[in-house]
Chain A
Amino acid sequence: MSQPNGRGDPGRVPGLPPEVRRDGEPGWAGGLRKLYNSVVEEPLPDSFKDLLKKLDDPGDA
């Protein structure tokens, strides 16, 4: 988490909401993180079932 830089002036270029723009960075950089995070937040698809089953299975129990 980035901290505010102190004096109340966020120093941002106006026009984009703060959640997609950190201080001094272009708006597309927030878009890149958002794209990435949108995949991170997806539930694992069904195709992962076999993998998860193998990893969940103690095997030698």
Chain B
Amino acid sequence: MIQAMPERIKASPADEGFRLELLSVLPHLRAFARGLSGRPDFADDLVQEAAIKAWTARERYQAGTNMRAWTFAILRNHYLSELRRSRRQTDLDEGVAERMLVMEPDQEGPLHLGDMEVALQKLAPERREAVLLVGASGFSYEEAAEIAGCPIGTMKSRVARARADLARMLEGELDALDIKKRKTG
């Protein structure tokens, strides 16, 4: 459920820049939330709720700092509190693979994106978060550690373990694809 929208959102000139920045990060928040949860609808609810939280807390945001990191942290914390509330985390949705198969054929890499999505959802949650932040979203280890509220060494270790897990789950398939590609030209 999406929490009730504030009755009225007042815009000031100072708010306008914030608003534009917030709008610009929404697609990134969607990608992060989708990766974290594996559930498109739930992810979109999370993003909207996080956006409202960000807007409500906009006075705490320092203009010129990293809006993406700031909102990712808000979304991440909101996600965790939702998980604690609903315990949805343990319930891997069987529809994940099917949903990912709606990807346009020309968007598919040599690796089927559905396979990647399934593998991602099999990772331990803190490793999934880590590899999404560093490997997919492009945050530095420092930024990712700040978003996740952990020491940088912990973040590095989580990313390394996530990469090893993904490699173990996915590289067998890639090797097979490599061989096939070489044969076909």
Partner-B contacts on A (CB < 8 A)? 13-17, 20, 26-42, 44-45, 47-48, 50-52, 54-55, 57-61
Contacts and interface: CB of A to CB of B under 8 A. Distances in A.
B9 A33 contact: no
Interface string B153-171: 0000000000100110011
Contact of B11 (A26, A28, A32, A60): A60
Interface residues of B, number: 49
B124 interface: no
Contact of B137 (A14, A36, A48): A36
A44 B27 contact: yes
A45 B41 CA distance: 10
29 contacts: A13-B178, A15-B181, A16-B178, A20-B111, A26-B171, A27-B178, A29-B135, A29-B163, A31-B116, A32-B136, A35-B35, A35-B113, A35-B136, A36-B31, A36-B35, A36-B132, A36-B137, A38-B103, A38-B107, A38-B113, A39-B30, A40-B28, A42-B30, A54-B5, A55-B22, A57-B9, A59-B8, A59-B11, A60-B10
